[in-house]
Amino acid sequence: MTGDSNQQLQHRTVLLKEAVDALVWRADGLYVDGTFGRGGHSRAVLGKLGAGGRLLGFDKDPQAIATAREIGDARFEIVHDSFATLADALSERGIERVSGILLDLGVSSPQVDDPARGFSFRHDGPLDMRMDPTRGESAAQWLARATQQELTEVIRDYGEERFAFQIAKAIVARRSESDRLGPLASTRELAEIVAHVVKTREKGKDPATRTFQALRIHVNQELAELQVTLEAALALLEQGGRLVVISFHSLEDRIVKRFMQSQANVPPLDRRLPLRAAELPVPPMKLLGRVMASDEEVAANPRARSAVMRIAERVAA
């Protein structure tokens, strides 16, 4: 790979120090990096762990797995799978409790910047969008079979796109031309179809942004996997253990916020019940705060602008 390509595909880890400081509260603990990516957070966690500490990383991307295998540290192990398999992976290793779980959600810069992955409307490439291109159905395959109603619902619900119906209709119309034009298989053509339909958009935002986000979330089942993992984290964290989640759009952050808030509160009690203080229920989690990227970090890495990090602590395991 050329120097220019390396520069293009490099990844800046968002909220690196803030996330690791929030996560690692004991140097001999066992931690999970649910989204290894290019290893920024994992390397920093290993730097804070003592000889007795351990780190288990997860990622679906084969390129991330290749990077992880370059880490020559006996305290570290990488799992080529979704973080949604966390509970099973720990059970297979005889692990019942962990000291902290970090989730850095969304797509990484190398994935977006590599045209072959099909995540970006800015570069022409195959309509793939899978985090793991060796498994499952690509965006092109799903677009070729989805009904107009399914297209509308995915683009509306996962992209928060008000022109979802019109975009879905245009995709179905293009599909009817497949015998003459071939299948809809390139990111550029999809972006052009969306741009033809979406005449107005926020300043500085490409008309295809929301549609591409929606398809990526659907193809990778990102929101469903996030919900499964949050529930697993609650069961796996030891007392005092930390859950740290970095989100990059409102749908993810809403799920994380609601989950943490629901676990940090207990249902209201009937005040007529004769309960002593020691008998009062304790919520399973405590909220430790929300962190946004600093102005300096956003200036150095514009993709950090939308990042929201939420932190919670396991109170009673």
CA angle, residues 146, 147, 148, in degrees to nearest 5: 120
One pLDDT digit (tens) per residue for the chain, 317 residues: 333 333 334 567 899 999 999 999 999 999 999 999 999 999 999 999 999 999 999 999 999 999 999 999 999 999 999 999 999 999 999 999 999 999 999 787 777 778 878 788 888 999 999 999 999 999 999 999 999 999 999 999 999 999 999 999 999 999 999 889 899 999 999 999 999 999 776 776 889 999 999 999 999 999 999 999 999 999 999 999 999 999 999 999 999 999 999 999 865 555 666 655 555 567 899 999 999 999 999 999 888 999 999 999 999 75
Q: Check residue 279 and give its pLDDT.
A: 56
> What b-and-e string marks burial along 84-107, b requiring 16 or more CB atoms within 10 Å of the CB?
bbbbebbeeeeeeebbbbbbbbbb
Cα–Cα distance, 257 to 76 (Å, whole number) = 30
Q: Check residue 123 and give its pLDDT.
A: 83
Annotated binding-site ranges for S-adenosyl-L-methionine: 39-41, 59, 83, 104, 111
Helices 222-236 and 250-263 pack at an angle, to 10 degrees, of 20
Rounded alpha-carbon distances, angstroms, from residue 76 to 7, 92, 95, 99: 27, 16, 14, 15
Q: Check residue 75 and give its pLDDT.
A: 98
Helix ranges (H only) for 240-286 are: 250-263
Q: Check residue 271 and give its pLDDT.
A: 61
Structure tokens at 75: 């305290």
This prediction's pTM: 0.89
Contact 172/143 with Cβ under 8 angstroms?
no
Annotated binding-site ranges: 39-41, 59, 83, 104, 111
Q: Check residue 265 and give its pLDDT.
A: 87
Segment holding 311, helix H or strand E: strand 308-314
Domains of the chain: 3-109+222-265+279-314 (3.40.50.150), 136-219 (1.10.150.170)
Cα–Cα distance, 68 to 219 (Å, whole number) = 24
Q: Check residue 2 and give its pLDDT.
A: 32
